[in-house]
Amino acid sequence: MSKKKTIHIISHTHWDREWYLPYEKHHYLLVQTIDQLLDTLATDPNFKSFHLDGQTIILEDYLQVRPEKREQIKMFIEAGRIQVGPWYILQDEFLTSSEANVRNLQYGMRDARKWGGLSKIGYFPDSFGNIGQAPQILKQAGIRAAAFGRGVKPTGFNNAVIDADEYESPYSEMKWQSPDGTEVTGILFANWYCNGNEIPVDEEKARKYWKQHIENLEKFASTSQMLMLNGCDHQPIQTNLSEAIEVANQLYPDYQFIHSSFNEYVESLEKESSSELKVVKGELRSQKTDGWGTLVNTASSRVYLKQMNQKVQTLLEKIAEPLATFCYLHDEHYDHDLFSYAWKTLMQNHPHDSICGCSVDEVHDEMVTRFKKSEHFTEMMINQSVEHLVSAIDTSVFKHEEPVYPFVVFNTTATNKTEVTEVIIDLARQYYRDGVNKKALQAIDCEGYIVIDEANNKYPVAIKDHGLVFDYDLPLNQFRQPYMARRVTVRFETRDLPELGYKTFALIKGETSNNTLVIGKQRMENKHLIVDILDNGSFNLTDKQSGHCHEGLNVYEDTGDIGNEYMYKATSDCIACTTENETASIELIDDTPVSATYKVTHHWSLPEGAADTLDHEQREWVWFTKRDSDRALKEVAFTIETMITLTSTSKYVDVKTNYNNTVKDHRLRVLFPTKVKANYHYSDSVFEIAKRSNKPSEQWENPDYSQHQQVFVDLSDENQGLCIANKGLNEYEILQEEQQKIAITLLRAVGEMGDWGYFPTPKAQCLDEQMVEYRIIPHGGGKERFKAYQTAYQFQVPSVAKETKIQTGTLPTSHSFIQLRQNETLSYSSLKVSEETGDVMLRFANLDEKSNKLTLNTALDCYRSDVIERQHDLLVTKQVELVGFEILTVGIRPK
């Protein structure tokens, strides 16, 4: 007798915390839903378990309203009747940083364990595509299976495994492999995560329901274990489910229907798992589809959110945590509660409907406040650490100079750094408690200064005078202390800031250099590069070492967009306006020994929005792919100011652009033509430089082939390359014209949310001041590209500088808290302290397919750890080998 097939019914509700309703409206419904769940669990012992959507934050949200339910919830979790974790929130994997993806798992798993249970499934039900390193991250955390709703095309049982193409699977089960070779069981919701919703109790209805549903299940099942998800988006609890399961068992004696959980389902599946399963590798981005359902253009919906996210993520993971770790390695306590609060507040903006910018306006208004909350809190942590460190640093080496203003520049990255840094210096300060003489402050001379380091190397400076400035101290043991200062900002180029450390400098009187980088009309030059600004506002960039000239960089392109927050859809006229044939006004606005900047202004005119027909198409809910509106005939003024900066020794050009968006229903991009000949390009993703094809697959019908990026995109061959780094610009496209071009999306302005109805979103038009920043890094191609990637990563992480005084101290004048040796194919990710062990955690990713070494110069004990900070092998030689594409966490035990 053949074994009965088992149908695992898992109850859940997919809880988008905010989406087509503002947060508090969904929150209100959540309270009702969890009330209903607790009631059902208490009254029906046969209602075995409920999957709480893989995100522990739901419990915090509920308890905020009903704190007295804590004990009851804990009891149900400990009994396995509510399944929680492993995530804190259901993030968008591509639009949150590598560390944010890891922290989401760390906080989620820690919370789940505190509650007394853990659902061991990498749960990505609604992710808009899946990152390639997810299997490695999950496996390191002890999770062997992942479930997802998008990214792979299910082809069904008529197709044999061998016929399945890349990113296709005949079964809902498969092996999903990271670039390093780590594998987890991949479970695709081939019939979506609502495939067992609202199961009838009535026999006749149940028969009809099951006939169809069992057929759908068997079409994709590779084993006798089948999965049905009883629930959907914000679905109320099916309170009579146990009765419905009883009815099903009576009607279909050949099947066994059980009220199950992911832990039970995965265990049964693994027992039967066949070797026939398809192996899918790396990123799952619906590569083998028509391209209309990927939701990829959420990467450019409400760009302001992505920019704020990049800023706060960087402050937290790349500045605040390393600085607090420096303090910890010196003499200070590491305050985990503060970081937990800042991270959780930030991560509340990371759910897929939130960071993707695909909700109604109220949702995103609240996100702006949350970003600011996390930012302000993090800034206070940074100030505290900086003050603590600075007060301990010995600056007595500068005591012979007069006047002298010593200051410290911190490098919170793991590579030695040379770059232009700014520091605020008060040339004089008068406290109100002692009386303020404004005239005397005003009379202070701001000219004739240079910077020196402890070896007496001299650095030319550019000084900006702020005049008289009111400010105050907030001492920890005293009342606030207001003062008036004569303040300047000093810009200079630091050289060789030690990795994970700092260097002390001093501003002293000295002869100012007259050097300039401007060598002709609209021309700048340093040791490495020549920038020629053309009359249309674009520029040519010559790499002096290779002789390669990248011509016509930074042309703007604008097209109509009649899609929605999820997807871009060009207007039917398909007209692309560009600045190629415009004339720009060009002005030199900064010319110092440190840097030179040209301001390029385009007085452009663009269609004011889409034609009126779009309004009808939206109201009548015409699906976006079926719309055929044009752009409006009326044009309005659209002015773009572009600041193009070359610094004294840089191998890159920095661009900062301001404009007021006066136009609706459009997409603005900046174009970089290259002479590169390649079929592939590289895009920075989560712990991975994804190698992606320049051309979509044959099935791809969408004329647009936009993609996600984190820090940069790079188009290169063996001889040359162009890498464009960004701050919060997550979308690009590689254009295949007579030349291959990189297009970076600066803004996408649309008027509706999209998806299951008509939801107007006037604020998604972004009709206000915009500012974008990016860095253009030419390089020599081949392995040289990795050096450009390090420069790109540095672009996002500014140095932190702070004025101090002449003093002796317990910390040396310059110092590296953790000395490292590594090559540029390793990418530094984080430095923090583990809450569980108190050990210092240092994380890197190997960007190369080849194995790689990291050497730590430390007397402290080191060990190999993982993404959830457990201890594995001791590293006796202080040298670790990373296999190709490995994510490595090293634990360092302080004395």
Q: Compare residues 12 and 569 and give the one whose CB is closer to Zn ion.
A: 12
Binding region for Zn ion (CB under 5 A) out of 15-23, 204-212, 651-659, 835-843 = 15-23
Q: How far is the CB of 194 from Zn ion (least distance, A)?
A: 11
The alpha carbon of 651 is separated from its chain's Cα centroid by a whole number of angstroms, namely 25
Q: How far is the CB of 540 from Zn ion (least distance, A)?
A: 46
Give the DSSP letter string of 646-696: EETT-SSEEEEEEEE----SEEEEEEEE-----SEEEEEETTEEEEEESS-
Binding region for Zn ion (CB under 5 A) out of 14-22, 460-468, 524-532, 677-685 = 14-22
* 226-150-704 Cα angle (round to 5): 155
Q: How far is CA 683 from CA 506, 656, 692, 734, 832, in A?
A: 40, 21, 7, 11, 27
Binding region for Zn ion (CB under 5 A) out of 125-133, 168-176, 242-250, 465-473 = 125-133
Q: Compare residues 126 and 283 and give the one whose CB is closer to Zn ion.
A: 126
Q: Compare residues 325 and 564 and give the one whose CB is closer to Zn ion.
A: 564
**Residue pair 231/13 in contact by the 8 Å Cβ criterion:** yes
Which strands make up the sheet holding 145-148, listed edge to edge? 122-124, 145-148, 183-188, 173-177, 279-281
Q: How far is the CB of 11 from Zn ion (least distance, A)?
A: 17
Q: Compare residues 230 and 791 and give the one whose CB is closer to Zn ion.
A: 230
SS3 at position 419: strand
* Amino acid code (one letter) for 476: L
Q: Compare residues 356 and 409 and give the one whose CB is closer to Zn ion.
A: 356
**Residue pair 610/629 in contact by the 8 Å Cβ criterion:** yes
Residue from the set 18, 53, 93, 126 that interacts with Zn ion by CB under 5 A? 126
Q: How far is the CB of 880 from Zn ion (least distance, A)?
A: 38
Q: How far is the CB of 504 from Zn ion (least distance, A)?
A: 50
Q: How far is the CB of 233 from Zn ion (least distance, A)?
A: 6
What DSSP element (H or E) covers 389? helix 361-390
* Rounded Cα distance, 308 and 737, in Å: 33
Q: How far is the CB of 344 from Zn ion (least distance, A)?
A: 19
Binding region for Zn ion (CB under 5 A) out of 16-24, 92-100, 511-519, 872-880 = 16-24
Q: Compare residues 126 and 866 and give the one whose CB is closer to Zn ion.
A: 126
Q: How far is the CB of 350 from Zn ion (least distance, A)?
A: 12
Could you tell me which of 157, 261, 251, 224 has the C-alpha nearest to residue 5? 224
* Amino acid code (one letter) for 644: I
Which residues, including other chains, have CB under 8 Å from residue 864's CB and lie 6 or more apart?
A: 872, 873, 875, 880, 888, 889, 890, 891
Give 281's strand partners.
Answer: 177
Residue among 126, 426, 453, 866 flagged as catalytic: 126
Site string for Zn ion, 561-590 (x = CB under 5 A): ------------------------------
**Residue pair 536/583 in contact by the 8 Å Cβ criterion:** yes
Could you tell me which of 747, 744, 668, 749 has the C-alpha nearest to residue 711? 744
Tokens 């937290």 -> residue? 316
Q: How far is the CB of 298 from Zn ion (least distance, A)?
A: 12
Q: Compare residues 16 and 180 and give the one whose CB is closer to Zn ion.
A: 16
Q: Is 180 in the site for Zn ion (CB under 5 A)?
A: no
Binding region for Zn ion (CB under 5 A) out of 13-21, 417-425, 454-462, 585-593 = 13-21
- The number of beta carbons lying within 10 Å of the beta carbon of residue 34 is 25
Instruction: Convert 142-154 to b/e letters by CB count within 10 Å (16 or more is b).
Output: ebbbbbbbbbbbb
Q: Compare residues 123 and 371 and give the one whose CB is closer to Zn ion.
A: 123
Residue from the set 6, 16, 356, 525 that interacts with Zn ion by CB under 5 A? 16
SS3 at position 759: coil
**Residue pair 824/858 in contact by the 8 Å Cβ criterion:** no
Among all residues, whose Cβ is closest to Zn ion?
126
- Binding residues for Zn ion, how many (CB under 5 A)? 2
- The number of beta carbons lying within 10 Å of the beta carbon of residue 877 is 8
Q: How far is the CB of 126 from Zn ion (least distance, A)?
A: 3
* Rounded Cα distance, 524 and 645, in Å: 9
Could you tell me which of 167, 144, 50, 98 has the C-alpha nearest to residue 689? 98
Q: Compare residues 232 and 576 and give the one whose CB is closer to Zn ion.
A: 232
Q: How far is the CB of 368 from Zn ion (least distance, A)?
A: 21
Instruction: State which of positions 702-731 bind Zn ion (CB under 5 A).
Output: none
**Residue pair 541/531 in contact by the 8 Å Cβ criterion:** yes
**Residue pair 130/151 in contact by the 8 Å Cβ criterion:** yes
What phi, psi does 122 have (nearest 5°)? -70, 95
Q: How far is the CB of 19 from Zn ion (least distance, A)?
A: 7
Binding region for Zn ion (CB under 5 A) out of 12-20, 190-198, 468-476, 563-571 = 12-20
Q: Compare residues 126 and 499 and give the one whose CB is closer to Zn ion.
A: 126
Token representation of residue 166: 């890349």
Q: Compare residues 126 and 525 and give the one whose CB is closer to Zn ion.
A: 126
Provide the pairing of β-strand 840-846 with 826-833.
Answer: antiparallel
Binding region for Zn ion (CB under 5 A) out of 11-19, 497-505, 714-722, 863-871 = 11-19
Could you tell me which of 309, 316, 318 has the C-alpha nearest to residue 341? 316
Q: How far is CA 600 from CA 7, 290, 420, 653, in A?
A: 65, 40, 22, 14
Q: How far is the CB of 372 from Zn ion (least distance, A)?
A: 25
**Residue pair 718/782 in contact by the 8 Å Cβ criterion:** yes
Based on the residue annotation, tell me whether 126 is a catalytic residue of this protein: yes
Q: Compare residues 16 and 557 and give the one whose CB is closer to Zn ion.
A: 16
Binding region for Zn ion (CB under 5 A) out of 42-50, 122-130, 511-519, 717-725 = 122-130
Tokens 């070779």 -> residue? 181
The dihedral built from the CA positions of residue 672, 675, 678 and 684, taken in this order, carries a sign that is negative
DSSP state of 397: G
Q: Compare residues 126 and 688 and give the one whose CB is closer to Zn ion.
A: 126
Binding region for Zn ion (CB under 5 A) out of 124-132, 325-333, 468-476, 644-652 = 124-132
* Rounded Cα distance, 667 and 765, in Å: 10
Binding residues (CB under 5 A) for Zn ion: these are: 16, 126
Positions annotated as catalytic residues are 126
